[in-house]
Structure 1
Amino acid sequence: MTNKETVYVVSDSVGETAELMVKAVASQFFGQEVEIKHFSYVEDKQDITNVITMSKYSLSIIAYTIVVPELKHYLDQKADEEGVIAVDLMHPLMNAFTQKFNMEPNSQPGQMRKLDENYFKRVEAIEFAVKYDDGQEVRGLKQADIVLVGISRTSKTPLSMYLANKTFKVANVPLIPEIQPPKELFSIPRKKCVGLIISPEKLYEIRTERLKSLGLTSSANYASLDRILEELTCAENIMKKIGCPIIDVSNKAIEETADQILAIFNKRESFA
Protein backbone atom coordinates (compact mmCIF):
# COMPACT_ATOMS: atom_id res chain seq x y z
CA MET A 1 0.00 0.00 0.00
CA THR A 2 1.32 3.43 -0.91
CA ASN A 3 1.09 6.51 1.29
CA LYS A 4 1.54 8.85 -1.65
CA GLU A 5 -1.42 11.19 -2.20
CA THR A 6 -2.81 10.20 -5.58
CA VAL A 7 -5.66 11.31 -7.78
CA TYR A 8 -6.89 9.06 -10.56
CA VAL A 9 -8.05 11.26 -13.42
CA VAL A 10 -10.69 9.32 -15.34
CA SER A 11 -12.20 10.54 -18.60
CA ASP A 12 -13.97 9.28 -21.70
CA SER A 13 -11.80 11.77 -23.60
CA VAL A 14 -8.25 13.03 -22.98
CA GLY A 15 -8.83 14.23 -19.43
CA GLU A 16 -7.17 17.63 -19.76
CA THR A 17 -10.04 19.43 -18.02
CA ALA A 18 -9.94 17.09 -15.03
CA GLU A 19 -6.17 17.35 -14.71
CA LEU A 20 -6.22 21.15 -14.67
CA MET A 21 -8.91 21.21 -12.01
CA VAL A 22 -7.10 18.63 -9.88
CA LYS A 23 -3.86 20.63 -10.05
CA ALA A 24 -5.68 23.83 -9.09
CA VAL A 25 -7.25 22.18 -6.04
CA ALA A 26 -4.09 20.27 -5.06
CA SER A 27 -2.12 23.51 -4.98
CA GLN A 28 -4.25 24.55 -2.00
CA PHE A 29 -3.22 21.50 0.03
CA PHE A 30 0.27 20.31 -0.88
CA GLY A 31 3.67 21.96 -1.12
CA GLN A 32 4.17 20.02 -4.32
CA GLU A 33 1.79 18.63 -6.88
CA VAL A 34 -0.23 15.55 -6.00
CA GLU A 35 0.55 12.46 -8.07
CA ILE A 36 -1.88 12.23 -10.97
CA LYS A 37 -2.54 8.95 -12.76
CA HIS A 38 -4.46 9.06 -16.02
CA PHE A 39 -7.19 6.79 -17.30
CA SER A 40 -8.16 8.40 -20.60
CA TYR A 41 -10.63 7.29 -23.25
CA VAL A 42 -12.56 5.07 -20.85
CA GLU A 43 -15.02 3.13 -23.00
CA ASP A 44 -16.54 0.36 -20.90
CA LYS A 45 -17.42 -0.73 -17.38
CA GLN A 46 -14.35 -2.92 -17.04
CA ASP A 47 -12.10 0.14 -17.36
CA ILE A 48 -14.02 1.75 -14.51
CA THR A 49 -13.90 -1.38 -12.37
CA ASN A 50 -10.11 -1.49 -12.77
CA VAL A 51 -9.52 2.08 -11.63
CA ILE A 52 -11.90 1.74 -8.68
CA THR A 53 -10.05 -1.39 -7.54
CA MET A 54 -6.72 0.43 -7.65
CA SER A 55 -8.12 3.46 -5.88
CA LYS A 56 -9.61 1.29 -3.12
CA TYR A 57 -6.20 -0.03 -2.08
CA SER A 58 -4.29 3.25 -2.16
CA LEU A 59 -4.38 6.69 -0.58
CA SER A 60 -6.30 8.21 -3.46
CA ILE A 61 -9.47 9.67 -4.86
CA ILE A 62 -11.00 9.66 -8.33
CA ALA A 63 -11.75 12.84 -10.26
CA TYR A 64 -13.66 12.25 -13.43
CA THR A 65 -15.10 13.92 -16.52
CA ILE A 66 -17.38 11.29 -18.03
CA VAL A 67 -20.30 12.50 -20.10
CA VAL A 68 -21.73 9.15 -21.21
CA PRO A 69 -24.61 8.64 -18.73
CA GLU A 70 -24.33 4.85 -18.47
CA LEU A 71 -20.60 4.98 -17.60
CA LYS A 72 -21.07 7.88 -15.18
CA HIS A 73 -23.81 6.07 -13.26
CA TYR A 74 -21.79 2.87 -13.15
CA LEU A 75 -18.75 4.71 -11.77
CA ASP A 76 -20.85 6.43 -9.09
CA GLN A 77 -22.47 3.14 -8.08
CA LYS A 78 -19.24 1.10 -7.91
CA ALA A 79 -17.37 3.85 -6.08
CA ASP A 80 -20.12 4.02 -3.48
CA GLU A 81 -20.11 0.23 -3.06
CA GLU A 82 -16.33 0.10 -2.59
CA GLY A 83 -16.10 3.17 -0.34
CA VAL A 84 -14.03 5.13 -2.87
CA ILE A 85 -14.33 8.90 -3.16
CA ALA A 86 -15.20 9.77 -6.77
CA VAL A 87 -15.78 13.41 -7.72
CA ASP A 88 -17.81 14.34 -10.79
CA LEU A 89 -16.23 17.53 -12.17
CA MET A 90 -18.67 18.23 -14.99
CA HIS A 91 -22.26 17.26 -14.17
CA PRO A 92 -23.03 19.92 -11.51
CA LEU A 93 -22.31 22.62 -14.10
CA MET A 94 -24.01 20.66 -16.88
CA ASN A 95 -27.11 20.38 -14.71
CA ALA A 96 -27.03 24.14 -14.14
CA PHE A 97 -26.91 24.67 -17.92
CA THR A 98 -29.88 22.34 -18.36
CA GLN A 99 -31.96 24.11 -15.72
CA LYS A 100 -31.11 27.68 -16.69
CA PHE A 101 -30.99 27.42 -20.46
CA ASN A 102 -33.55 24.64 -20.90
CA MET A 103 -31.18 22.56 -22.98
CA GLU A 104 -29.95 18.99 -22.83
CA PRO A 105 -26.26 18.01 -23.28
CA ASN A 106 -25.38 15.85 -26.27
CA SER A 107 -23.35 13.53 -23.98
CA GLN A 108 -20.60 13.03 -26.56
CA PRO A 109 -16.99 12.75 -25.33
CA GLY A 110 -14.19 14.91 -26.75
CA GLN A 111 -16.28 17.86 -27.90
CA MET A 112 -13.61 20.39 -26.94
CA ARG A 113 -11.06 18.69 -29.15
CA LYS A 114 -13.13 18.45 -32.29
CA LEU A 115 -11.24 19.78 -35.26
CA ASP A 116 -13.04 22.90 -36.42
CA GLU A 117 -12.16 25.74 -38.77
CA ASN A 118 -10.59 27.79 -35.97
CA TYR A 119 -8.30 24.89 -35.04
CA PHE A 120 -6.92 24.62 -38.55
CA LYS A 121 -6.44 28.39 -38.76
CA ARG A 122 -4.44 28.30 -35.53
CA VAL A 123 -2.24 25.43 -36.73
CA GLU A 124 -1.62 27.23 -40.02
CA ALA A 125 -0.73 30.45 -38.21
CA ILE A 126 1.71 28.68 -35.88
CA GLU A 127 3.42 26.96 -38.80
CA PHE A 128 3.63 30.34 -40.55
CA ALA A 129 5.20 32.00 -37.48
CA VAL A 130 7.85 29.26 -37.26
CA LYS A 131 8.64 29.41 -40.97
CA TYR A 132 8.98 33.18 -41.10
CA ASP A 133 10.63 33.73 -37.72
CA ASP A 134 13.67 35.99 -37.43
CA GLY A 135 13.65 37.19 -41.03
CA GLN A 136 13.60 33.76 -42.65
CA GLU A 137 12.23 33.75 -46.21
CA VAL A 138 11.24 37.40 -46.65
CA ARG A 139 8.58 36.44 -49.18
CA GLY A 140 6.41 35.67 -46.17
CA LEU A 141 6.15 39.38 -45.39
CA LYS A 142 3.53 39.89 -48.10
CA GLN A 143 1.48 36.94 -46.86
CA ALA A 144 1.59 37.97 -43.18
CA ASP A 145 -1.28 39.58 -41.28
CA ILE A 146 1.21 41.26 -38.96
CA VAL A 147 4.93 41.99 -39.38
CA LEU A 148 7.00 42.71 -36.28
CA VAL A 149 10.34 44.51 -36.55
CA GLY A 150 12.88 45.19 -33.81
CA ILE A 151 16.36 44.50 -32.53
CA SER A 152 17.42 41.38 -30.67
CA ARG A 153 15.63 40.62 -27.36
CA THR A 154 12.50 42.68 -27.99
CA SER A 155 10.25 39.58 -27.75
CA LYS A 156 9.57 39.26 -31.48
CA THR A 157 9.44 35.46 -31.49
CA PRO A 158 7.27 34.90 -28.38
CA LEU A 159 4.93 37.64 -29.59
CA SER A 160 4.69 35.96 -32.99
CA MET A 161 3.75 32.65 -31.37
CA TYR A 162 1.26 34.25 -28.98
CA LEU A 163 -0.50 36.04 -31.84
CA ALA A 164 -0.38 32.88 -33.95
CA ASN A 165 -2.37 31.12 -31.25
CA LYS A 166 -5.02 33.76 -31.93
CA THR A 167 -4.91 32.71 -35.62
CA PHE A 168 -2.88 35.69 -36.90
CA LYS A 169 -0.13 34.96 -39.41
CA VAL A 170 2.91 36.80 -38.06
CA ALA A 171 6.36 37.30 -39.54
CA ASN A 172 9.17 39.07 -37.72
CA VAL A 173 12.31 40.76 -38.96
CA PRO A 174 15.42 41.51 -36.87
CA LEU A 175 16.96 44.94 -37.37
CA ILE A 176 20.78 44.93 -37.33
CA PRO A 177 22.90 48.01 -38.16
CA GLU A 178 25.33 46.08 -40.36
CA ILE A 179 22.60 44.41 -42.42
CA GLN A 180 20.22 46.20 -44.74
CA PRO A 181 16.59 45.29 -44.00
CA PRO A 182 14.85 43.42 -46.81
CA LYS A 183 13.39 45.73 -49.47
CA GLU A 184 10.08 43.89 -49.11
CA LEU A 185 9.73 45.51 -45.69
CA PHE A 186 9.17 48.87 -47.38
CA SER A 187 6.74 47.61 -50.00
CA ILE A 188 4.18 45.95 -47.75
CA PRO A 189 1.27 48.06 -46.41
CA ARG A 190 2.63 49.94 -43.42
CA LYS A 191 -0.65 49.34 -41.59
CA LYS A 192 0.33 45.73 -40.94
CA CYS A 193 3.81 46.49 -39.59
CA VAL A 194 4.65 47.18 -35.93
CA GLY A 195 7.99 48.28 -34.51
CA LEU A 196 9.23 47.07 -31.13
CA ILE A 197 11.66 49.08 -29.03
CA ILE A 198 13.01 48.76 -25.50
CA SER A 199 14.83 51.05 -23.07
CA PRO A 200 18.66 50.85 -23.22
CA GLU A 201 18.83 50.04 -19.51
CA LYS A 202 16.36 47.18 -19.73
CA LEU A 203 18.03 45.76 -22.83
CA TYR A 204 21.44 45.98 -21.16
CA GLU A 205 20.08 44.02 -18.20
CA ILE A 206 18.50 41.36 -20.44
CA ARG A 207 21.55 40.92 -22.64
CA THR A 208 23.94 40.81 -19.68
CA GLU A 209 21.90 38.00 -18.12
CA ARG A 210 21.77 36.24 -21.48
CA LEU A 211 25.57 36.28 -21.74
CA LYS A 212 25.91 34.96 -18.18
CA SER A 213 23.62 32.05 -19.01
CA LEU A 214 25.91 31.24 -21.94
CA GLY A 215 29.02 31.43 -19.74
CA LEU A 216 30.28 34.59 -21.44
CA THR A 217 31.45 37.85 -19.89
CA SER A 218 29.29 40.97 -19.93
CA SER A 219 32.12 42.86 -21.64
CA ALA A 220 31.06 41.39 -24.99
CA ASN A 221 29.99 43.98 -27.54
CA TYR A 222 26.51 42.45 -27.64
CA ALA A 223 25.76 43.85 -24.17
CA SER A 224 27.67 47.13 -24.32
CA LEU A 225 25.61 50.29 -23.93
CA ASP A 226 27.28 51.88 -26.96
CA ARG A 227 26.26 48.94 -29.12
CA ILE A 228 22.73 48.94 -27.71
CA LEU A 229 22.29 52.64 -28.40
CA GLU A 230 23.59 52.17 -31.93
CA GLU A 231 21.11 49.35 -32.58
CA LEU A 232 18.17 51.28 -31.12
CA THR A 233 18.96 54.39 -33.15
CA CYS A 234 19.26 52.37 -36.34
CA ALA A 235 16.02 50.50 -35.62
CA GLU A 236 14.02 53.65 -34.88
CA ASN A 237 15.25 55.26 -38.12
CA ILE A 238 14.06 52.23 -40.09
CA MET A 239 10.70 52.22 -38.30
CA LYS A 240 10.20 55.90 -39.10
CA LYS A 241 11.02 55.19 -42.72
CA ILE A 242 8.43 52.42 -42.79
CA GLY A 243 5.93 54.68 -41.03
CA CYS A 244 4.72 51.99 -38.64
CA PRO A 245 3.48 52.39 -35.05
CA ILE A 246 6.14 51.78 -32.40
CA ILE A 247 5.57 49.99 -29.10
CA ASP A 248 7.93 50.15 -26.12
CA VAL A 249 8.10 46.64 -24.64
CA SER A 250 10.43 47.55 -21.75
CA ASN A 251 8.12 46.67 -18.87
CA LYS A 252 5.36 44.82 -20.65
CA ALA A 253 4.36 41.17 -20.50
CA ILE A 254 3.88 39.40 -23.82
CA GLU A 255 0.12 39.47 -23.32
CA GLU A 256 0.11 43.24 -22.77
CA THR A 257 2.12 43.95 -25.91
CA ALA A 258 -0.04 41.57 -27.94
CA ASP A 259 -3.20 43.28 -26.71
CA GLN A 260 -1.75 46.65 -27.71
CA ILE A 261 -0.87 45.33 -31.19
CA LEU A 262 -4.36 43.92 -31.67
CA ALA A 263 -5.93 47.17 -30.45
CA ILE A 264 -3.97 49.04 -33.13
CA PHE A 265 -5.15 46.68 -35.85
CA ASN A 266 -8.76 46.61 -34.65
CA LYS A 267 -8.84 50.41 -34.61
CA ARG A 268 -7.52 50.56 -38.16
CA GLU A 269 -10.10 48.04 -39.36
CA SER A 270 -12.93 50.01 -37.78
CA PHE A 271 -11.89 53.09 -39.76
CA ALA A 272 -11.16 51.20 -42.98
Structure 2
Amino acid sequence: MLSQQKLIIFVASDSAGETGEAVVKAAATQFYPKVVEIRRIAFIQDSGAIELLIQAAKREHAIIVFTLVVPELREYLLVKARKHHIKTIDLMGNLLQTMEHSFGQEARHKPGMIHPLDEDYFKKVEAVEFAVKYDDGRDFTGILQADIVLVGVSRTSKTPLSMFLAHKTYKVANVPLVPEITPPDLLYTVNNKKIFGLTINPDKLNKIRSERLKMLGLPGNASYANLERISQELEFAQQIMSRIGCTVIDVTNKAVEETASVILERIG
Protein backbone atom coordinates (compact mmCIF):
# COMPACT_ATOMS: atom_id res chain seq x y z
CA MET A 1 0.00 0.00 0.00
CA LEU A 2 1.40 3.38 -1.01
CA SER A 3 1.68 6.00 1.72
CA GLN A 4 1.10 9.68 1.10
CA GLN A 5 1.09 12.69 3.35
CA LYS A 6 -1.72 14.57 1.58
CA LEU A 7 -4.95 13.45 -0.02
CA ILE A 8 -7.26 15.61 -2.08
CA ILE A 9 -10.94 14.74 -1.97
CA PHE A 10 -13.53 16.41 -4.14
CA VAL A 11 -16.97 16.44 -2.49
CA ALA A 12 -19.51 16.67 -5.28
CA SER A 13 -23.21 17.34 -4.82
CA ASP A 14 -26.29 18.48 -6.71
CA SER A 15 -27.10 20.47 -3.56
CA ALA A 16 -24.87 22.38 -1.14
CA GLY A 17 -22.57 19.44 -0.40
CA GLU A 18 -22.58 19.96 3.35
CA THR A 19 -23.55 16.35 4.11
CA GLY A 20 -20.70 14.89 2.05
CA GLU A 21 -18.18 17.32 3.49
CA ALA A 22 -19.23 16.49 7.05
CA VAL A 23 -18.74 12.75 6.41
CA VAL A 24 -15.31 13.29 4.82
CA LYS A 25 -14.20 15.50 7.72
CA ALA A 26 -15.29 12.87 10.20
CA ALA A 27 -13.28 10.20 8.33
CA ALA A 28 -10.24 12.50 7.94
CA THR A 29 -9.89 12.89 11.71
CA GLN A 30 -9.05 9.18 11.88
CA PHE A 31 -5.85 9.78 9.92
CA TYR A 32 -4.40 12.76 11.80
CA PRO A 33 -1.73 14.09 11.28
CA LYS A 34 -2.13 13.12 7.62
CA VAL A 35 -3.56 16.00 5.59
CA VAL A 36 -6.88 15.70 3.79
CA GLU A 37 -7.75 18.65 1.58
CA ILE A 38 -11.47 18.87 0.89
CA ARG A 39 -12.72 20.73 -2.14
CA ARG A 40 -16.47 21.08 -2.30
CA ILE A 41 -18.12 21.17 -5.74
CA ALA A 42 -21.71 22.14 -5.09
CA PHE A 43 -24.93 22.48 -7.10
CA ILE A 44 -23.95 20.21 -9.96
CA GLN A 45 -26.82 20.33 -12.44
CA ASP A 46 -25.52 18.95 -15.73
CA SER A 47 -22.95 16.73 -17.42
CA GLY A 48 -20.76 19.72 -18.20
CA ALA A 49 -20.10 20.32 -14.51
CA ILE A 50 -19.25 16.64 -14.08
CA GLU A 51 -16.78 16.80 -16.99
CA LEU A 52 -14.95 19.66 -15.28
CA LEU A 53 -14.96 17.72 -11.99
CA ILE A 54 -13.47 14.63 -13.66
CA GLN A 55 -10.72 16.68 -15.29
CA ALA A 56 -9.80 18.33 -12.00
CA ALA A 57 -9.82 15.03 -10.09
CA LYS A 58 -7.63 13.35 -12.70
CA ARG A 59 -5.18 16.25 -12.66
CA GLU A 60 -4.94 16.23 -8.85
CA HIS A 61 -4.99 12.40 -8.47
CA ALA A 62 -7.94 12.96 -6.18
CA ILE A 63 -10.85 10.89 -4.88
CA ILE A 64 -14.41 11.95 -5.62
CA VAL A 65 -16.96 11.58 -2.82
CA PHE A 66 -20.43 12.44 -4.03
CA THR A 67 -24.01 12.83 -2.82
CA LEU A 68 -25.87 13.06 -6.11
CA VAL A 69 -29.55 12.18 -5.80
CA VAL A 70 -30.42 12.64 -9.49
CA PRO A 71 -29.89 9.16 -11.03
CA GLU A 72 -28.75 10.42 -14.43
CA LEU A 73 -26.03 12.63 -12.93
CA ARG A 74 -24.90 9.85 -10.59
CA GLU A 75 -24.61 7.32 -13.43
CA TYR A 76 -22.80 9.78 -15.69
CA LEU A 77 -20.24 10.52 -13.00
CA LEU A 78 -19.61 6.83 -12.34
CA VAL A 79 -19.11 6.06 -16.04
CA LYS A 80 -16.68 8.94 -16.53
CA ALA A 81 -14.77 8.13 -13.35
CA ARG A 82 -14.30 4.48 -14.36
CA LYS A 83 -13.09 5.57 -17.78
CA HIS A 84 -10.38 7.77 -16.22
CA HIS A 85 -9.58 5.35 -13.36
CA ILE A 86 -10.70 7.81 -10.68
CA LYS A 87 -11.73 6.42 -7.31
CA THR A 88 -15.26 7.35 -6.26
CA ILE A 89 -17.37 6.89 -3.16
CA ASP A 90 -21.15 7.14 -3.52
CA LEU A 91 -22.57 8.21 -0.15
CA MET A 92 -26.21 8.25 -1.22
CA GLY A 93 -26.75 5.76 -4.05
CA ASN A 94 -26.72 2.45 -2.17
CA LEU A 95 -28.69 3.91 0.72
CA LEU A 96 -31.38 5.33 -1.58
CA GLN A 97 -31.66 2.04 -3.49
CA THR A 98 -31.97 0.03 -0.28
CA MET A 99 -34.65 2.39 1.07
CA GLU A 100 -36.52 2.30 -2.25
CA HIS A 101 -36.57 -1.48 -2.05
CA SER A 102 -37.75 -1.44 1.59
CA PHE A 103 -40.51 1.13 1.01
CA GLY A 104 -41.51 -0.30 -2.34
CA GLN A 105 -41.43 3.09 -3.96
CA GLU A 106 -38.98 5.30 -5.80
CA ALA A 107 -37.19 8.16 -4.04
CA ARG A 108 -38.03 11.72 -5.04
CA HIS A 109 -34.50 12.30 -6.38
CA LYS A 110 -34.86 15.98 -5.60
CA PRO A 111 -31.70 17.83 -4.46
CA GLY A 112 -31.56 20.13 -1.44
CA MET A 113 -34.51 18.73 0.51
CA ILE A 114 -32.59 18.57 3.80
CA HIS A 115 -32.16 22.35 3.98
CA PRO A 116 -35.83 23.28 4.46
CA LEU A 117 -35.88 20.66 7.23
CA ASP A 118 -32.83 22.22 8.87
CA GLU A 119 -34.38 25.67 8.58
CA ASP A 120 -37.59 24.42 10.17
CA TYR A 121 -35.63 22.79 12.98
CA PHE A 122 -33.78 25.97 13.87
CA LYS A 123 -37.01 27.96 13.72
CA LYS A 124 -38.49 25.57 16.28
CA VAL A 125 -35.45 25.92 18.53
CA GLU A 126 -35.66 29.70 18.32
CA ALA A 127 -39.40 29.67 19.05
CA VAL A 128 -38.97 27.36 22.07
CA GLU A 129 -36.21 29.58 23.48
CA PHE A 130 -38.50 32.58 22.95
CA ALA A 131 -41.38 30.87 24.79
CA VAL A 132 -39.14 30.07 27.75
CA LYS A 133 -37.74 33.59 27.90
CA TYR A 134 -41.13 35.29 27.79
CA ASP A 135 -43.07 32.75 29.83
CA ASP A 136 -45.45 33.91 32.57
CA GLY A 137 -44.76 37.63 32.13
CA ARG A 138 -41.02 37.40 32.91
CA ASP A 139 -40.30 40.09 30.32
CA PHE A 140 -43.18 42.07 28.85
CA THR A 141 -41.10 43.28 25.87
CA GLY A 142 -41.76 39.87 24.35
CA ILE A 143 -45.27 41.11 23.56
CA LEU A 144 -43.83 43.27 20.81
CA GLN A 145 -41.82 40.49 19.17
CA ALA A 146 -44.28 37.63 19.60
CA ASP A 147 -46.36 36.09 16.83
CA ILE A 148 -48.95 35.12 19.44
CA VAL A 149 -49.66 36.51 22.91
CA LEU A 150 -51.62 34.49 25.46
CA VAL A 151 -53.32 36.07 28.46
CA GLY A 152 -55.27 34.45 31.26
CA VAL A 153 -55.35 33.55 34.92
CA SER A 154 -53.06 30.93 36.43
CA ARG A 155 -53.57 27.29 35.35
CA THR A 156 -55.31 27.98 32.05
CA SER A 157 -52.56 26.09 30.16
CA LYS A 158 -50.69 29.17 28.95
CA THR A 159 -47.24 27.60 29.27
CA PRO A 160 -47.94 24.18 27.67
CA LEU A 161 -49.87 25.94 24.93
CA SER A 162 -46.90 28.27 24.34
CA MET A 163 -44.59 25.27 23.99
CA PHE A 164 -46.96 23.44 21.66
CA LEU A 165 -47.19 26.48 19.38
CA ALA A 166 -43.41 26.95 19.59
CA HIS A 167 -42.98 23.51 18.06
CA LYS A 168 -45.10 24.83 15.22
CA THR A 169 -42.40 27.59 14.89
CA TYR A 170 -44.56 30.37 16.40
CA LYS A 171 -43.00 32.76 18.90
CA VAL A 172 -45.36 32.97 21.86
CA ALA A 173 -45.34 35.23 24.91
CA ASN A 174 -47.80 34.68 27.73
CA VAL A 175 -48.98 37.13 30.37
CA PRO A 176 -50.71 36.12 33.63
CA LEU A 177 -53.68 38.20 34.67
CA VAL A 178 -53.86 38.82 38.41
CA PRO A 179 -56.21 41.41 40.04
CA GLU A 180 -53.43 42.81 42.23
CA ILE A 181 -51.09 43.42 39.26
CA THR A 182 -51.74 46.01 36.56
CA PRO A 183 -51.36 44.41 33.11
CA PRO A 184 -48.59 45.89 30.90
CA ASP A 185 -49.64 48.81 28.69
CA LEU A 186 -48.15 46.96 25.70
CA LEU A 187 -51.21 44.70 25.66
CA TYR A 188 -53.28 47.67 24.52
CA THR A 189 -50.84 48.91 21.87
CA VAL A 190 -50.07 45.82 19.76
CA ASN A 191 -52.39 44.27 17.20
CA ASN A 192 -55.15 42.58 19.20
CA LYS A 193 -55.54 39.92 16.51
CA LYS A 194 -52.40 38.22 17.78
CA ILE A 195 -53.63 38.24 21.41
CA PHE A 196 -55.73 35.36 22.73
CA GLY A 197 -57.45 35.33 26.11
CA LEU A 198 -57.89 31.99 27.85
CA THR A 199 -60.82 31.49 30.19
CA ILE A 200 -62.18 28.46 32.02
CA ASN A 201 -65.12 27.26 34.10
CA PRO A 202 -64.60 28.27 37.77
CA ASP A 203 -65.40 24.79 39.13
CA LYS A 204 -62.99 23.17 36.69
CA LEU A 205 -60.26 25.63 37.64
CA ASN A 206 -60.96 24.98 41.32
CA LYS A 207 -60.27 21.26 40.80
CA ILE A 208 -57.12 21.93 38.78
CA ARG A 209 -55.70 24.31 41.37
CA SER A 210 -56.63 22.01 44.27
CA GLU A 211 -54.71 19.17 42.62
CA ARG A 212 -51.79 21.50 42.06
CA LEU A 213 -51.71 22.38 45.76
CA LYS A 214 -51.75 18.69 46.71
CA MET A 215 -48.79 18.03 44.42
CA LEU A 216 -46.89 20.81 46.15
CA GLY A 217 -47.83 19.49 49.59
CA LEU A 218 -49.84 22.60 50.43
CA PRO A 219 -53.27 22.77 52.12
CA GLY A 220 -56.18 22.55 49.71
CA ASN A 221 -58.04 25.43 51.38
CA ALA A 222 -55.45 28.03 50.31
CA SER A 223 -56.89 31.14 48.65
CA TYR A 224 -55.29 30.01 45.38
CA ALA A 225 -57.96 27.33 45.05
CA ASN A 226 -60.77 29.23 46.76
CA LEU A 227 -63.82 29.32 44.51
CA GLU A 228 -64.68 32.92 45.40
CA ARG A 229 -61.11 34.03 44.68
CA ILE A 230 -61.16 32.15 41.36
CA SER A 231 -64.39 33.87 40.31
CA GLN A 232 -62.85 37.23 41.17
CA GLU A 233 -59.77 36.46 39.05
CA LEU A 234 -61.84 35.30 36.09
CA GLU A 235 -64.01 38.39 36.23
CA PHE A 236 -60.93 40.61 36.31
CA ALA A 237 -59.41 38.71 33.38
CA GLN A 238 -62.62 39.05 31.36
CA GLN A 239 -62.57 42.83 31.88
CA ILE A 240 -58.98 43.03 30.61
CA MET A 241 -59.72 40.84 27.58
CA SER A 242 -62.76 42.96 26.71
CA ARG A 243 -60.66 46.09 26.93
CA ILE A 244 -58.00 44.55 24.67
CA GLY A 245 -60.65 43.35 22.23
CA CYS A 246 -58.89 40.02 21.73
CA THR A 247 -60.29 36.61 20.88
CA VAL A 248 -61.35 34.72 24.02
CA ILE A 249 -61.17 30.91 24.10
CA ASP A 250 -62.84 28.79 26.76
CA VAL A 251 -60.30 26.05 27.52
CA THR A 252 -62.63 24.08 29.83
CA ASN A 253 -62.28 20.40 28.87
CA LYS A 254 -60.13 21.36 25.87
CA ALA A 255 -56.85 19.64 25.16
CA VAL A 256 -53.87 21.87 24.40
CA GLU A 257 -53.95 20.65 20.79
CA GLU A 258 -57.58 21.73 20.42
CA THR A 259 -56.90 25.23 21.74
CA ALA A 260 -53.83 25.52 19.51
CA SER A 261 -55.92 24.50 16.51
CA VAL A 262 -58.41 27.31 17.20
CA ILE A 263 -55.58 29.85 17.51
CA LEU A 264 -53.82 28.73 14.33
CA GLU A 265 -57.09 28.86 12.42
CA ARG A 266 -57.73 32.41 13.60
CA ILE A 267 -54.28 33.70 12.68
CA GLY A 268 -54.42 31.98 9.33
TM range (shorter): 0.5 to 0.7
Q: Which runs of 5+ in 1 are unaligned?
A: 1-40, 45-66, 74-87, 267-272
Paired AA for residue 249 in structure 1? V
Shift of 1:71: 7.8
Shift of 1:91: 3.9
Determine the C-alpha separation between the residues in 1 that align with 2:128 and 2:168.
Answer: 9
- Aligned 1:135-154 pairs, distance under 5 A: 135-154=137-156
Shift of 1:90: 7.2
Shift of 1:244: 0.3
C-alpha change, 1:91 and 1:134, in structure 2 (3 Å) is: farther
Question: Is the counterpart of residue 199 in structure 1 residue 201 in structure 2?
Answer: yes
Shift of 1:70: 5.5
* Matched residue, 2:102: 92
Bigger Rg, structure 1 or 2: 2
Determine the C-alpha separation between the residues in 2 that align with 1:104 and 1:115.
Answer: 16
The 3-state SS of whatever aligns with 1:147 is: strand
Determine the C-alpha separation between the residues in 2 that align with 1:113 and 1:156.
Answer: 32
User: Over residues 21-66 of structure 1, what are the superposed CA-to-partner deviations in whole Å (9 max), with x where a residue is unaligned?
Assistant: xxxxxxxxxxxxxxxxxxxx9x99xxxxxxxxxxxxxxxxxxxxxx
| Equivalent in 188, 191, 213 of residue 189 of structure 1 | 191
C-alpha change, 1:117 and 1:217, in structure 2 (3 Å) is: same
Paired AA for residue 258 in structure 1? A
Q: Which runs of 5+ in 2 are unaligned?
A: 1-22, 28-90
TM-score normalised over the length of structure 1: 0.60
User: Over residues 113-164 of structure 1, what are the superposed CA-to-partner deviations in whole Å (9 max), with x where a residue is unaligned?
Assistant: 9862222221111111111100111111011111000000000001111111
Paired AA for residue 239 in structure 1? M
Percent identity between matched residues is 55
State the 4+ residue runs in structure 1 displaced beyond 3 angstroms.
Answer: 67-73, 88-91, 103-106, 111-115
| Equivalent in 163, 166, 185 of residue 165 of structure 2 | 163
User: Over residues 166-206 of structure 1, what are the superposed CA-to-partner deviations in whole Å (9 max), with x where a residue is unaligned?
Assistant: 11111000000100001111111111100000100110110
The 3-state SS of whatever aligns with 1:116 is: helix
Q: Aligned-residue CA RMSD in angstroms?
A: 2.7
Determine the C-alpha separation between the residues in 2 that align with 1:202 and 1:123.
Answer: 33
Determine the C-alpha separation between the residues in 1 that align with 2:211 and 2:128.
Answer: 28
Shift of 1:97: 3.0
The 3-state SS of whatever aligns with 1:96 is: coil
Question: Is the counterpart of residue 215 in structure 1 residue 224 in structure 2?
Answer: no
C-alpha change, 1:112 and 1:176, in structure 2 (3 Å) is: same
Determine the C-alpha separation between the residues in 1 that align with 2:132 and 2:125.
Answer: 11
